[in-house]
């Protein structure tokens, strides 16, 4: 006589992977549709069709369109944040802190200032009045996470005598917005065509770091090079 299957028996690996594939297909389809058509301009029928699953399956994974939208905001900002902040090497002993921070800033600019992230940012800002949770998610996963990670990095550098910092969070906020504010605001208002080329981002990052180190660098880490002249 065969034993009855246990009620708590885990799903077979192929069942789990099938569910995960459907979940990912829904997220990817929804991301493309939301960024293209906006929140109000996208419906669950379109998402189901684009992800090649039934509408019932979409609702099995996400209770509502709003829940799916929050998942998109979460996944995109987490991915960008992980790319910027994870696996950051420590500054080598005797290393050039200006170059080190410029590399960090360039990486942050390059990852964040992309059409999908900028489109997401505009989309969330447009929906914050109705869905305040979206703004909170974007802020926590984006600017707040960046500042917290920078603060932790600056505390380590201060302990090594590389930086002169009293409040790491304030210093991190200054660094973040010295680097991010000008190109970010320009792209948000002028559109994705205003995204600078890599060389321009690198120059901007170096100038931001120069100003930052003028305030927070130790004497032996400051760089007294004059600012680059703008081309006429």
Burial of 58 (0-12, 13-18, 19+ CB in 10 A): buried
Whether residues 45 and 113 fall in one domain: no
- What's the pLDDT band for 223 if we cut at 50, 70, 90? very low
231 inside domain: no
How high does pLDDT run on average in the chain?
Answer: 86
Whether residues 203 and 129 fall in one domain: yes
Enter the tokens of residue 137.
Answer: 């998610």
- What's the pLDDT band for 4 if we cut at 50, 70, 90? very low
Whether residues 70 and 58 fall in one domain: no
Whether residues 29 and 141 fall in one domain: no
pLDDT score of 27? 93
When pLDDT is averaged across residues 162-171 and rounded to a whole number, the result is 96
225 inside domain: no
Q: Between 49 and 228, whose confidence is greater? A: 49
| DSSP characters over the chain | -PPPPPTTPPPPHHHHHHHHHHHHHHHHHHHHHHHHHTTTT--HHHHHHHHTS-HHHHHHH-SSHHHHHHHHHHHHHHHHHHHHHTTPPPPPTT--HHHHHHHHHHHHHHHHSSHHHHHHHHHHHHHTTT-HHHHHHHHIIIIIHHHHHHHHHHHHHHHTTSB--S-HHHHHHHHHHHHHHHHHHHHHHH-GGGPPPHHHHHHHHHHHHHHHHHHHB-TTT---PPPPPPP-
- What's the pLDDT band for 169 if we cut at 50, 70, 90? very high
Position 230 pLDDT exceeds 80: no
Chain-centre distance for alpha carbon 83: 8
Whether residues 199 and 96 fall in one domain: yes
Q: Report the CATH number at residue 190.
A: 1.10.357.10
Whether residues 40 and 84 fall in one domain: no
Q: Report the CATH number at residue 19.
A: 1.10.10.60
List the domain range (segments joined by +) for residue 42. Answer: 12-62
Whether residues 26 and 82 fall in one domain: no
- pTM for this prediction: 0.80
Return the closest-CA partner of residue 76 out of 38, 45, 114. 114
pLDDT score of 127? 86
Position 120 pLDDT exceeds 70: yes
3 inside domain: no
Phi, psi (degrees; rounded to nearest 5) at 78: -65, -45
pLDDT score of 221? 55
Whether residues 152 and 110 fall in one domain: yes
208 inside domain: yes
Q: What confidence tens digit (pLDDT) does each residue in 128-145 have? A: 888 878 888 889 988 899
Q: What confidence tens digit (pLDDT) does each residue in 52-110 have? A: 999 999 999 999 998 999 899 888 988 998 888 887 788 988 899 999 999 999 999 99
Whether residues 148 and 176 fall in one domain: yes
Whether residues 94 and 19 fall in one domain: no
């Amino acid at each position: 006589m065969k034993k009855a299957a246990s009620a708590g028996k885990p799903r077979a690996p192929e069942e789990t992977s099938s569910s995960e594939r459907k979940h990912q297909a829904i997220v990817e389809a929804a991301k493309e549709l939301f960024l293209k058509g906006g929140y109000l301009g996208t419906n669950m029928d379109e998402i189901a069709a684009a992800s090649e699953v039934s509408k019932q399956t979409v609702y099995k994974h996400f209770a509502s369109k709003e829940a799916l939208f929050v998942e998109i905001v979460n996944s995109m900002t987490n991915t960008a944040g992980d790319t910027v902040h994870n696996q950051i090497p420590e500054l080598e002993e005797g290393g050039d802190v200006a170059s080190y921070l410029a590399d960090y800033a360039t990486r942050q600019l390059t990852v964040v200032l992309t059409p999908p992230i900028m489109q997401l940012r505009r989309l969330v800002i447009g929906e914050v009045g109705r869905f305040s949770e979206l703004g909170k998610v974007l802020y926590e996963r984006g600017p707040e996470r960046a500042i917290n990670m920078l603060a932790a990095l600056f505390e380590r550098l201060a302990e090594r005598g590389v930086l002169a910092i009293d409040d790491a969070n304030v210093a991190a906020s200054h660094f973040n917005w010295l680097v991010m504010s000008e190109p970010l605001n320009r792209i948000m208002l002028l559109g994705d065509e205003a995204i600078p080329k890599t060389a321009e981002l690198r120059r901007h990052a170096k100038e931001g770091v120069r100003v930052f180190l003028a305030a927070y660098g130790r004497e032996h880490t400051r760089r007294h090079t004059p600012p680059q002249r703008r081309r006429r």
